[in-house]
Amino acid sequence: MRRATTLPLPAAPSASAPKRSLFARFGQDIPKVIGPADPILTAAIVALVGFGVVMVFSASSVFAEQRYGTPFHFLIRQGAFAILGVGAMLAIARFDYHRYRPLTYPILGVAVVLLVAVLVGLGRSAGGAARWIPIGPVNVQPAEIAKLALILWLAYSLSKKGAQIRSFQIGFLPHVLVAGLLMLLCLKQPDFGSSVMIALLTFVLLFTAGARPGYLFASVVVALPLGYWLITSRAYRMDRIQAFLDPFAHRYGVGYQIAESLMSFGAGGPTGVGLGDSKQKLFYLPEAHTDFISAIIGEELGFVGILALIAVYALIVARGLRIATHAANEYGTYIAVGITFFLGAQAFTNLAVAMGMLPTKGLVLPFLSYGGSALLVNCAAVGILLNVSRARAVEGGDEVGGELADADPNLASALASRAGAEPAAFSPPEAASTTTRRGATRRNRRQGEAAGEAPAGVLGAGAKRNRVRGGTT
């Protein structure tokens, strides 16, 4: 990091000037895809989805047998959705993300229409909140679609703003207004959690894009009392807060779920009671196969299982951030950051709720919880992310640099770390042809550090597979 700030980038201004015009309008000059999607991320997602099917079966079999007469009820459905979801993910990964740009406003429009449709009563309600619209076999949650739409719109808009991102009127206000509209619509459902998520998402993307920290800080200051009022204004939200603060005082009331969940985790101990042997799923833990599936995992597989699970989510976040830093352009960076946050925040929130670290909030554990809609949305999001991860050629000669980086990345980084100097210094001819590869190599290493990956091996593999990042500097 220290080196990064002192990094001389002589070629950057000159190289980027012409490129800017190429990306000035959407639909033009989409960079050529020259590499495959991130295989580590793909593998992690497929593994999670598969694991999810197993755990959904384990958690739901007793309930399903009692309710539907067959223990396989949820297994069959989740299996089908898993195949569908992974298929969709791979398909979407092949769809160039630049092509979303012309669709930005239509997608945002559809999301708003769906949110409004839910509000006016087209949706299906559960627990006092109208959140779903049944489309065919799946219940579409407009709030989820709205989040994806918002990510695409923010990425598009922020990448267009350029230096004006630092201004209040152009860089800050419009984004906050659109996000605010979506938040309002979500609040109306009422879906407090989605509103918070949208706020955080906007905050993170504005931060990433370089909005003034002062504005962001000020908006937090404004939002806090508002959030406090929103929480205290509804009895059920207060109940949830109280249940969170002391679940056992509300053991048979609002704290029931969280108390059972804590028991499940605790009962698992270091190694768990064994796959399929959960006792909490005997109707003790409501929603065992959906929102609280992590509690069943914790009980059946113990600390070891949850540790592995968290590691996989950490890996997904790490890969997502890495993709963000390696994206062909800002648009891709913002999409990657947004989707990574979207997935990571869901995973964190769900786990934190189940472990009693956050108030109860109906949120799925991405890729694991039962539910077709959420699985499809998350898979679609990863699909987009995977497409961003694909190496792209920005100007002629990129491939050359790529070949070199592939040739011996370990050597390059090892030398770099030993010399404490720019890796670029060890690849003079290629660096001359384009500045991009140098940056990519350096970033590879930084990426590894930042995400806490093992320095040499993983980095090397990553660098190798990611080939060249076009136009990164």
Residues 206-265 that bind other proteins (CB under 8 A): 207-208, 210, 252, 260, 262-265
Q: Does 13 bind other proteins (CB under 8 A)?
A: yes
Burial class (CB in 10 A: 0-12, 13-18, 19+), 392: buried
* Contacts (Cβ under 8 Å, ≥6 apart) of 380: 88, 89, 92, 148
Q: Does 327 bind other proteins (CB under 8 A)?
A: yes
What x/- string results for residues 62 through 101 when contact with other proteins is judged by CB under 8 A? x---------------------------------------
Rg (CA), the chain: 23
Of 403, 387, 402, nearest in space to 439 by CA: 402
Among 30, 33, 181, 355, contact with other proteins (rule: CB under 8 A): 355
DSSP assignment string, 364-423: --TTTSS-HHHHHHHHHHHHHHHHHHS-EE-STTHHHHHHHHHH-HHHHHHHHHHHTS-G
Separation in Å, CA 82 to CA 212, 223, 373, 381? 41, 38, 11, 14
Of 292, 312, 315, nearest in space to 370 by CA: 292
DSSP 171: I
Among 348, 410, 458, 465, contact with other proteins (rule: CB under 8 A): 348
Closest distance between other proteins and the C-beta of residue 457, in Å? 20
Tokens 């890996």, residue located = 315
Q: Does 314 bind other proteins (CB under 8 A)?
A: yes
Q: Does 172 bind other proteins (CB under 8 A)?
A: no
Q: Does 359 bind other proteins (CB under 8 A)?
A: no
Tokens 């806490």, residue located = 452
Q: Does 169 bind other proteins (CB under 8 A)?
A: no
Among 34, 170, 352, 461, contact with other proteins (rule: CB under 8 A): 352
* Smaller CB separation from other proteins, 450 or 456: 450
3 state DSSP class of 446: helix
Using the rule CB under 8 A, give the single segment among 124-132, 229-237, 281-289, 367-375 that binds other proteins. Answer: 281-289
Using the rule CB under 8 A, give the single segment among 18-26, 123-131, 222-230, 233-241 that binds other proteins. Answer: 18-26
* Smaller CB separation from other proteins, 88 or 293: 293
Using the rule CB under 8 A, give the single segment among 98-106, 180-188, 238-246, 282-290 that binds other proteins. Answer: 282-290
Closest distance between other proteins and the C-beta of residue 265, in Å? 5
Q: Does 452 bind other proteins (CB under 8 A)?
A: yes
The Cα–Cα gap between 95 and 58 comes to 35
Q: Does 363 bind other proteins (CB under 8 A)?
A: no
* Smaller CB separation from other proteins, 144 or 299: 299
Among 298, 366, 383, 409, contact with other proteins (rule: CB under 8 A): 298
Q: Does 306 bind other proteins (CB under 8 A)?
A: yes
Using the rule CB under 8 A, give the single segment among 9-17, 142-150, 181-189, 397-405 that binds other proteins. Answer: 9-17
Q: Does 456 bind other proteins (CB under 8 A)?
A: no
Q: Does 317 bind other proteins (CB under 8 A)?
A: yes
The Cα–Cα gap between 337 and 334 comes to 5
CA atoms within 13 A on the CB side of 51: 22
DSSP assignment string, 40-71: HHHHHHHHHHHHHHHHHHHHHHHHHHHHHS-T
Closest distance between other proteins and the C-beta of residue 227, in Å? 19
Closest distance between other proteins and the C-beta of residue 128, in Å? 18
Closest distance between other proteins and the C-beta of residue 98, in Å? 13
Among 450, 456, 458, 461, contact with other proteins (rule: CB under 8 A): 450
Among 267, 275, 415, 456, contact with other proteins (rule: CB under 8 A): 267
The Cα–Cα gap between 338 and 151 comes to 6
The full length of the chain comes to 473
Q: Check if the beta carbon of residue 394 is closer than 8 Å to that of residue 31.
A: yes
